[in-house]
Amino acid sequence: MSRNSMTALLLLAFGFWAGCNSRQDWESQTYPTSGTVSINGEAPKDLFVIFLPTEGDVDSRGSMPWGVVQEDGSYQMRTYDICDGAPAGEYAVLLRWPFDRAAPGDRLRSAFSTVDKSPLTYTVQAGKNQLPPIELTGVKVTPLKKSKPFAMGSE
């Protein structure tokens, strides 16, 4: 590899590193934050976990950390970028489980969708945060409707 090729490669790598590790002036410092959720003993895939600051805003734009539960029940919070975590602070934890990611509604019947309804709270500390599991039992969940397969000539 020539000296010019090596220099170009190093500059490109530094550019990617600087771009991935830079914050805008208005962004707060975030810390890796993750946890797990189970509802009635099962992982609620695609459930949204939303952190609402209990005092003030996390930044001048009113950003809110959020995450999406995966098939295994785990989630990683993000505020500005994928899996960047959440700023340190106290949060009310809201849950919303849409019928699908593009559809309105909540399979939890809005039982955890506001500060008044959700008893869940977390504190995010500076550093890596593995939050205690959210384990909800006896929760009424609206089941997904299964669509019937289309059959030709069955009108």
Residue 15 placed within a domain = no
Q: What is the pLDDT of residue 101?
A: 72
- Give 141: exposed, middle or buried? Use CB within 10 Å, 0-12, 13-18, 19+: middle
Residue 69 placed within a domain = yes
Residue 153 placed within a domain = no
- From first to last of the 155 residues of the chain, give the pLDDT tens digit: 555 444 444 444 444 444 455 668 889 999 999 999 999 999 999 999 999 999 989 999 999 999 999 999 999 999 999 989 999 999 999 999 999 877 778 999 999 999 999 999 999 999 999 999 999 999 999 998 766 565 666 55
Residue 3 placed within a domain = no
Q: What is the pLDDT of residue 152?
A: 62
Residue 151 placed within a domain = no
Calpha distance 93→59 (Å, rounded): 18
Exposed e or buried b per residue across 31-43, where buried means at least 16 C-beta atoms within 10 angstroms of its C-beta: bebbbbbebeeeb
Q: What is the pLDDT of residue 19?
A: 46
Report the CATH number at residue 45: 2.60.40.1120
Residue 49 placed within a domain = yes
Residue 104 placed within a domain = yes
How many domains in the chain?
1
